[in-house]
Chains A and B, each alone.
Chain A
Amino acid sequence: MSYQWNWGVFLQPSASGDDTYLGWMLAGFKMTIGLSLTAWVLALLLGALIGVLRTVPNRALAGFATGYVELFRNIPLLVQLFIWYFVLPELLPESLGNLYKQSNPLLQQFLASMICLALFTSARVAEQVRAGINSLPKGQKNAGLALGFTLPQTYRFVLLPMAFRLVVPPLTSEFLNIFKNSAVCSTIGLLELAAQGRQLVDYTAQPYESFIAVTLAYLLINVTVMFLMHRFERRIVVPGYIGGK
């Protein structure tokens, strides 16, 4: 192959003139991180709530939570994203829909991406939380109730403090996934890492340098998250329990 390598391309002024191509990459990197972290916080909150609901005795609540999880797990992420981005604004009441459509396009892309990633991931978080609660011996719940705790108190003081610590290791892989899944948002034009990489190819015709840079950036994110989560896991591990040494 007669490919002309040119790593200097990153230092050339970009097509927009006020930046280098390296600057584009960094902007994409920041977008990926910002989007993934905001969506992750939402996914944790929602996922914890839905996961708890799946284990409660109330049929209606548990049924709702099951439906929620099945809905978000059985539709491809890309389709969900397009529905949030293209379909939802049309279905909103007209005034609200118009307000949204007239807002900054970047804001629209970011909001759709964030909501999509958050809800998609929350269904997976919910499954882990449910598994965590169900992995506790039945006696714990019964003991809580026998001591005169109400059901919410049993969850608050007995079940959840244990369950949340137990689910941290499986949640690490969901945390890694949300960064990878954020690359799907490049399809609606959000300029995150993968989109910046493709844009750079269009402007410079140096696909290999661009893709290698983007791939390395994702590897960096992966390694960093694994390192941080490993330290966190060691701090919160339950002594004598699964994984506890």
Chain B
Amino acid sequence: MYEFDWSSIPGALPFLWEGMKISLEITLTAVVIGIVWGTLLAMMRLSSFRPLSWFAAGYVNLFRAVPLVMVLLWFFLIVPKFIEQLFGLPPGSDLRLTSAMIGFALFESAYYSEIIRAGIQSVPKGQMAACSALGMTYGQAMRLVILPQAFRNMVPLLLTQAIILFQDTSLVYVSALADFFGAAYKVGDRDGRLVEMLLFAGAVYFVICYTASQIVKRLQKKYHPA
């Protein structure tokens, strides 16, 4: 039988925490940018101006058709070159974290925009008509009437998507960036304790994501008693 040896974990905790901070940083940036850009995309998609809705539909469908791993590989390829030229940085600067943040933010926007679009469409049409009747502009109606109600309905879905996103950040492994999972893998590989470190990483993700999803469920019951 395999003999477990968990002794490399306590000493590695500070390093793992550094990794966790990277995972959380990527998640947070992607959630914030994803919701803002996702809202704009959703409004474009619902716009009656055809080129705008085509652009949004194309953007969303493209990102949703390509695997996240492939999207990340693209961004790790393109973003560093682009930024180096833009800011005149020396070639070979470490821009993996920036690339990961941009990649996740643009990728998640596509998913957020679908959630937000459904949220906007769930607001009864009469509300928009009432706004127009009151003399509000489109922007005012969206900002003051439609979006506040839409977002209230969407909160659980937006949070669930954030949990999925947090899990997906582990894929920055393809660029050897030391997020929480990358850090755990490195320690396990170094100490010859891959079995223990992988199980530990799995347990940590499980505890965080399970707790978060239970909190979301509570919120949902509180605001939308079935």
Interface size on A, residues (CB 8 A): 40
Render A74-94 as a binary contact track against B, CB cut-off 8 A, 1 for contact: 111111101100110011011
Q: Determine whether the beta carbon of A211 is less than 8 Å from that of B77.
A: yes
Which of chain B's residues have a CB closer than 8 A to the CB of A187?
69, 173-174
- Least distance between A237 CB and chain B CB atoms (Å): 21
CB-based contact B173/A207 at 8 Å: no
Given contacts A94-B1, A187-B173, contact A76 B67 (CB under 8 A): no
Contact check, B202 vs A79: say whether CB atoms are below 8 A apart.
yes
Number of interface residues of B (CB under 8 A): 33
* Cβ-neighbour of A83 out of B167, B170, B199 (below 8 A): B199
Q: B198: which A residues are within 8 A, CB to CB?
A: 79, 82-83, 86-87
A90 and B2 contacting across the interface, CB-CB below 8 Å: yes
With A181-B67, A187-B174 as contacts: A75 and B209 at CB distance below 8 Å: yes
Which residues of chain B are within 8 angstroms of A70 by Cβ–Cβ distance? 210
Stretch at the interface among A56-64, A157-165, A215-223: A215-223
> Are B2 and A211 in contact (CB-based, < 8 A)?
no
Is A214 among interface residues, defined by CB-CB distance under 8 A? Answer: yes
A141 interface hit (Cβ, 8 Å) = no
Whether B171 lies near A74 (C-beta < 8 A) is: no
Interface flag for B205 (CB, 8 Å)? yes
Query: Residue on A with the closest CB to B212?
Result: A74
Tell me, in angstroms, the Cα distance from A41 to B210 when the chains sit together. 27
CA distance A77 to B166 in the complex (A): 12
The answer to whether A214 and B170 touch (CB under 8 A), given A74-B213, A207-B77, is no
B86 at interface, CB cutoff 8 A:
no
- How far, in whole Å, are A148 and B177 apart by their CA atoms in the complex? 61
Chain B 202-217 near chain A by CB (<8 Å), digits 1 or 0? 1001100110010000
* Chain A positions 70-120 with a Cβ under 8 Å from a chain B Cβ: 70-71, 73-80, 82-83, 86-87, 90-91, 93-94
B9 at the A interface (CB under 8 A): no
Given the known A-B contacts A75-B202, A76-B167, A76-B170, are A82 and B185 also in contact in the complex, defined by CB atoms under 8 Å? yes
- Whose C-beta in chain A lies nearest to the C-beta of B69? A183
Inter-subunit contact B70/A215 (CB<8 Å): yes
* Closest residue on chain B to residue A186 by CB atoms: B69
- Does B95 interact with chain A (Cβ within 8 Å)? no
A74 partner, pick from B174, B194, B206, beta carbons under 8 A: B206
B70 to chain A, nearest CB (A): 6
* Residue ranges of B at the interface with A (Cβ–Cβ < 8 Å): 1-2, 62, 65-70, 73-74, 77, 81, 85, 167-168, 170-171, 173-174, 181, 185, 194-195, 198-199, 201-202, 205-206, 209-210, 213
